[in-house]
Amino acid sequence: MKQLRDVSDSDYKVAMGRLLVMYTQVDYLIMRAVAERIASAPDDESRLFMAKQVGDESRHVRIQQEWIKEFGTDETPVFNELQQEMFLVHFRSLNWLDFLTDMYICIEALGGEAVEQIVPMADPGTRASLKVPLQDEVDHIAFGLGRVEYELSKLPVNESISYLKTIETRLDFLDDTLHGLGIDVPAMFTAVGADYRKVVDTVLQRRQEIMDRLAQPLAA
Ligand SMILES: [Fe+2]
Ligand SMILES: [Fe+2]
């Protein structure tokens, strides 16, 4: 079993600090984008769930902010004001199904999978700070995937199949966007002791599982 990292290792501390700030910023942006979307969600079940999620994300941001202070690293935002605004503008521009895909499959499920990969090599304080947030994410992903399935089930089969193909394109696009922001995610992961190639493989495997699950009812 891998040794937990010692926080006195300064490269580790700087890189983990940046990842924590980035993760907290993403939670904060998810909170805002989901809150904005409640008003136009298509049904009460979605509205009720999303209101709960907004509360969850707010709690995650608090937990993480407190831990970042205690951890004692640079608190400068990873995403600047313009990038944060672009995130919100992107989600505002989407129809319901695309919103579900980008928010819950791309950000929550695949982003969360990447975060999970760093937990085993994190120091005990960081691990503890991620516990509640990662538990709640399971619920958020279940909601999002369930809603994507439901929306697809209402479409004619050929339209559902062609939408599934566009999901792959949407995921590639978002992935390219992150790289285009000039944030060196591979270097951050490597500095905290993760094998970046393995992280990518695990995320791609999760992505394939999700695609298979969504395709299953359409094959019947
Ligand atoms: Fe969260
Ligand atoms: Fe979440």
Instruction: Give the domain ranges of the chain.
Output: 10-219
The DSSP element (H or E) to which 93 belongs, if any, is none
Q: What's the CA gap between 74 and 72, in Å, rounded?
A: 7
The CATH homologous superfamily for domain 10-219 is Ferritin, core subunit, four-helix bundle (1.20.1260.10)
Question: Region 131-135: what's the mean pLDDT?
Answer: 93
Going from the Cα of 53 to the center of ligand 2, the distance in angstroms, rounded, reads 7
**CA 106 – CA 140 distance, rounded (Å):** 12
Residue 167 alpha carbon to ligand 2 centre in Å: 20
Q: How confident is the model at residue 1 (pLDDT cuts 50, 70, 90)?
A: very low
Q: Give the ligand with the smallest distance to the CA of 115.
A: 1
Higher per-residue pLDDT: 172 or 216: 216
- Please give the structure tokens belonging to residue 49: 């769930």
pLDDT in tens, 19-32: 999 999 999 999 99
Distance CA 117, CA 75 (A): 23
The model carries a pTM of: 0.91
| Cα(28) to centroid(ligand 2), Å | 10
**Tens-digit pLDDT profile for residues 99-121:** 999 999 999 998 888 888 888 88
Q: Note residues around ion ligand 1 (Cβ under 5 angstroms).
A: 27, 57, 60, 133
- pLDDT, one tens digit per residue, over 46-69 is 999 999 999 999 999 999 999 999
The alpha carbon of 30 and the centre of ligand 2 are apart by a number of angstroms equal to 7
Q: Give me 26's structure tokens.
A: 């993403």
User: Residue 21 belongs to what H/E stretch?
Assistant: helix 10-38
Region 134-147: mean pLDDT is 96
Question: Which pLDDT score, from 0 to 100, does residue 119 have?
Answer: 87
